[in-house]
Structure formats: C-alpha cells, structure tokens
C-alpha cells in the first residue's frame, strides 16, 4: 500500500507555494516579486504584439491541422532556434552541419532531455551546478541519476561573481565533468561573467576536458540584444567545443505556458562530424519518443512564424527591447530610491545585475518580515523578479526594503 512510509508527503514547490500565498493575500498594496514572468507597468501579463500577429496568421492558415509534429519537432522552428543561439547561418557549427536540434517541452524539457542523453551516453560523470542555481536543475539531474556537485558563483560580499572561487572549483573538478553554465542573465543572481571571464572559463574547460552544458532561458530578454546575450555560447562554439544547449522561449516570447523550447547538440569540428551528428540525432529521437513522443505545436508554430519572417523578427526585437528596457528602468528606479533614502548598505548591484532577477542580499528573516509587514512577496533567498516592479509600486518597495534593513 501507499502508506506514508512508502510515499511520504513531499514539500510544496517553494515558488509555486509563494504564488499561492500571494493570490490569497487580500491587501491592496501587495506586490508580487516572486515568479519569473514579465509584467507590464500595470503588473499585468503582456502578450507580445508580435505574438498576437503571429497568432492571427496561424489562425488564418486554411491548411492548419492538428496532426502530430515529427518526433524532433517542426524543423522551421528548430533550425531557426539553432541559428538564434549560435549566431546565424555563419556559425561554424551550422556551416559544417555539426548541430542537431530537438524541439522540447520548453527549457525544462530541454534540460531534461540533455540530462537524459548524458546519463545514457556520457556516463560516470558529475554535473557541476553554480551555487546558487535555478532550483529545478538539482531535481532534473538527480532524476536521471547524474550526481551533482557545486561550484561557487555568487560573492555575498560584492554581490557579484565569485570568479576566483568559480575558477578554483572548475580546476579542481575531475576531468571531463559536466559544467552547467547559464548563457546569460543567471537565475537567481542576475550576475554574469564578462566576456573576458568567459574566455578564462573556456580555457579551464578546455584544459580539463570538461563538457559545457549551456542553459539559455533569457536570450534577448536580458540586454535587449539577441547577439549580445548569446556571446558566451558563440565563443565556446568558435573555440571548437563539443557542447549542448537547452533553450527556452518562455520569457523572450512570453510563451510561458505554451512550452516552446529546443535542445541542441553541437559536436566538435571533425571530418566525420556529419555522421556523428546523425547518430546523436537518432538516439535523441528514441529518447524523445519514449518521453513525450511528439512535442506540442502551438508555441513552436508562433515562434516559427516570427523567426522566419524578417519583418516580424524585427518587430520581435522591438518587443524584446520594450521588456528589457522597462526592467532596466526599474533597476535604476529602485537603486535611486534606496540611495535617496540612505538605506544602509550599497545598492549598485541592483543595476550591475542583469535580466529578470536581482539578488537583493536580503536575508531569509528579512524576506519573511517584508512579506508579513508589507505584503511584498519574494523567494526566501532574497531574489526579486524585477518585472514585478512598476512606476506605481517601486517607491513602496524601496521604502519597505529601507525599513526592513534598518
Ligand atoms: N533554466 C533557467 C535558468 C530558467 O530560469 C528557466 C525558467 N525559469 C528555465 C530553464 C526553463 O523554464 P521553462 O521550462 O519555463 O522554459
């Protein structure tokens, strides 16, 4: 029987628990800084105008039907997804046909498929995750039996990158370890290596024959510039690494619930790279078949319409700038207000960090107090989703932080 000994009660997912508590809160001043989803200046979800257009195009298509997608997904989507993260058709990996791409259940499914593939074909290795990282990384890799280790990432002192700690750990890891890297806009810290630091990281990975596993969930959403946000991945590919990429279109298209994502394998340059990639694709197809059989169509169709039409693509870039621009202006506003209030501590990290999140440095007791006293919701590690801030609530949040840290 499924007694409590056999199936014990599992804890609620902390993030979704936080959302529930927020919804139940009746206070009109409540502020949601928890979930990593974009909100407009009125704290409402934003359907990208370009997504609305693509949706109309899709609905007007008389040929539209609901047949199964191919196992690896729709290639008009996956090929453009690869170009997007690898930097276009001039990427050496694309030119030399060293890429295979599989459409997945958003970024989570891509990380999972990648983990499953490595568990099967890259055995006996540990995966090194940044400390801290997106909490789901731990569960996904554990689920497929890949042992987990950590590398230092965030410095509590500078609220920036602990670069020395990171390098030392990567040096110390057993040769051939899997190293999970956030391509841009690190979740939860908002702290990214500079391009020079990426070059040093790449050099360590090369020397130690480590395997790079990129997770990219915020391309274009972070800086507003798609090519800037994929610079790390492009650099590693240019250096001839064999690597994998898990790619999400949840944030940059605002397609959270539609689960549009992609998993890419790039093999190292070699005369037989094309046959290697075909073998890899054949194995990925078998894994995909047993897991989800065929990926969902709607989100991938929307993204595909935009990615394949230069005019819509330009409009998408404009929408990305709207989202990233509003977030950057909220970073500036929050920092300015805290400094104006003379709030104890330094607040430059709010504007130094990039992307959806800021690691405020608030402690767990402070997080709980700001929730009970001010109805402001953030995760226990002090991470705030910048998209939850707007011109109506940023002063209120700054004043609350000021009161809490004094
Ligand atoms: N990786 C990271 C680092 C993320 O922050 C996210 C989104 N929270 C994902 C992957 C994937 O999310 P999704 O499955 O919604 O695409």
Expressed in angstroms and rounded, the spacing between residue 261 Cα and the centre of ligand 1 is: 10
Confidence of residue 263 (pLDDT cuts 50, 70, 90): very high
**Using a 6 Å cutoff on CB, does residue 129 contact ligand 1?**
no
Q: What pLDDT score was predicted for residue 46?
A: 97
Q: Which long-range contacts (CB under 8 A, 24 or more apart) does 74-80 make?
A: 74/103, 74/297, 74/300, 74/301, 74/304, 76/304, 76/308, 77/103, 77/260, 77/262, 77/300, 77/301, 77/303, 77/304, 77/307, 78/102, 78/103, 78/262, 80/303, 80/304, 80/307, 80/308
Rounded average pLDDT over 172-188: 97
Q: What pLDDT score was predicted for residue 259?
A: 98
Whether pLDDT at 290 is above 90: yes
Expressed in angstroms and rounded, the spacing between residue 247 Cα and the centre of ligand 1 is: 8
Expressed in angstroms and rounded, the spacing between residue 217 Cα and the centre of ligand 1 is: 5
Expressed in angstroms and rounded, the spacing between residue 256 Cα and the centre of ligand 1 is: 9
Confidence of residue 145 (pLDDT cuts 50, 70, 90): very high
**Using a 6 Å cutoff on CB, does residue 247 contact ligand 1?**
no
- Crossing angle between the packed helical segments 49-60 and 310-341, to the nearest 10 degrees: 150
Rounded average pLDDT over 85-91: 96
Whether pLDDT at 11 is above 90: no
Rounded average pLDDT over 148-163: 95
Please, what is the average pLDDT of the chain?
Answer: 96
Neighbours of 8 (CB within 10 A): 8
User: For residue 383, with 0-12 CB atoms within 10 Å meaning exposed, 13-18 middle and 19 or more buried, which class applies?
Assistant: buried
Q: How many CA atoms lie within 13 A of 154 on its CB side?
A: 21
- Strands (E) across 176-269 are located at 178-182, 211-216, 243-248, 260-266
Rounded average pLDDT over 386-397: 97
What is the position in ligand 1's atom list of the atom closest to the CA of 186? 3
Alpha carbon distance 150, 375 (integer Å): 33
Cβ contacts of 315 within 8 Å, gap of 6 or more: 49, 50, 53, 306
38 contacts 387 by C-beta, under 8 angstroms: yes
**Using a 6 Å cutoff on CB, does residue 187 contact ligand 1?**
yes
Confidence of residue 210 (pLDDT cuts 50, 70, 90): very high
- Nearest residue (by CA) to ligand 1, atom 6, is 217
What is the position in ligand 1's atom list of the atom closest to the CA of 109? 14
Percentage of residues in the chain with pLDDT exceeding 70? 100
Alpha carbon distance 381, 364 (integer Å): 6
Alpha carbon distance 253, 248 (integer Å): 9
Rounded average pLDDT over 134-152: 97
Q: Is the peptide bond between 132 and the residue preceding it cis, with omega within 30 degrees of 0?
A: yes
Q: What pLDDT score was predicted for residue 342?
A: 96
Rounded average pLDDT over 24-41: 94
Expressed in angstroms and rounded, the spacing between residue 63 Cα and the centre of ligand 1 is: 33
Catalytic residue numbers read 134, 215, 251
Residue 67 CA, distance from chain mean position: 30
Tell me the pTM. Answer: 0.96
**Using a 6 Å cutoff on CB, does residue 108 contact ligand 1?**
yes
For residues 26-52, one letter each, b for 16 or more C-beta atoms within 10 angstroms of the residue's C-beta and e for the rest, the string is eeeebbbbbbbbbbeeeeeebebebbe
Neighbours of 1 (CB within 10 A): 5
**Using a 6 Å cutoff on CB, does residue 215 contact ligand 1?**
yes
Q: What pLDDT score was predicted for residue 304?
A: 98
Confidence of residue 17 (pLDDT cuts 50, 70, 90): confident
Alpha carbon distance 320, 81 (integer Å): 16
**Using a 6 Å cutoff on CB, does residue 137 contact ligand 1?**
no
Q: What pLDDT score was predicted for residue 307?
A: 98
Q: What pLDDT score was predicted for residue 14?
A: 84
What is the position in ligand 1's atom list of the atom closest to the CA of 111? 10
**Using a 6 Å cutoff on CB, does residue 216 contact ligand 1?**
no
- Nearest residue (by CA) to ligand 1, atom 10, is 107
Q: How many CA atoms lie within 13 A of 202 on its CB side?
A: 22
């Amino acid at each position: 029987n499924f007694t409590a000994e056999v199936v014990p009660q599992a804890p609620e997912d902390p993030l979704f628990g936080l959302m529930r508590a927020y919804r139940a809160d009746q206070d009109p001043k409540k502020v949601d800084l928890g979930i990593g989803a974009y909100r407009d200046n009125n704290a409402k979800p934003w359907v990208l105008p370009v997504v609305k257009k693509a949706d109309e195009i899709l609905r007007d298509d008389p040929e539209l039907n609901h047949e199964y997608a191919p196992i690896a997904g729709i290639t008009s989507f996956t090929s453009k997804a690869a170009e997007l993260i690898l930097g276009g058709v001039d990427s050496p990996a694309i030119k030399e046909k060293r890429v295979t791409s599989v459409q997945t259940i958003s970024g989570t499914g891509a990380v999972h498929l990648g983990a499953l593939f490595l568990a099967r074909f890259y055995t006996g290795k540990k995966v090194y995750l940044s400390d801290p990282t997106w909490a789901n990384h731990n569960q996904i890799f554990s689920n497929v039996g890949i042992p987990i280790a950590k590398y230092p990432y965030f410095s509590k002192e500078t609220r920036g990158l602990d670069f020395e700690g990171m390098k030392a750990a990567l040096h110390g890891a057993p040769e051939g370890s899997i190293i999970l890297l956030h391509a841009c806009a690190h979740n939860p810290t908002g702290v990214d290596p500079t391009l020079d630091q990426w070059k040093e990281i790449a050099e360590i990975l090369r020397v130690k024959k480590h395997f790079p596993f990129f997770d990219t969930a915020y391309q274009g959403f972070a800086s507003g510039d798609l090519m800037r946000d994929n610079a790390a991945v492009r650099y590693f590919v240019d250096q001839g690494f064999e690597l994998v990429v898990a790619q999400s279109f949840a944030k940059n298209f605002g397609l959270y619930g539609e689960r549009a994502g992609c998993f890419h394998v790039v093999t190292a340059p070699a005369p037989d790279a094309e046959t290697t990639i075909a073998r890899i694709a054949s194995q990925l197809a078998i894994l995909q078949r047993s897991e989800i059989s065929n990926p969902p169509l709607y989100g991938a169709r929307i993204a595909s319409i935009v990615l394949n039409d230069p005019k819509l693509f330009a409009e998408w870039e404009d929408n990305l700038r709207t989202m990233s621009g509003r977030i950057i202006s909220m970073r500036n506003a929050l920092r300015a207000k805290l400094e104006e209030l003379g709030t104890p501590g330094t607040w430059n990290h709010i504007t130094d960090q990039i992307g959806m999140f800021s690691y405020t440095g608030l402690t767990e007791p402070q997080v709980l107090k700001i929730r009970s006293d001010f109805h402001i919701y953030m995760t226990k590690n002090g991470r705030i989703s910048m998209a939850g801030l707007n011109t109506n609530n940023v002063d209120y949040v700054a004043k609350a932080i000021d009161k809490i840290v004094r």
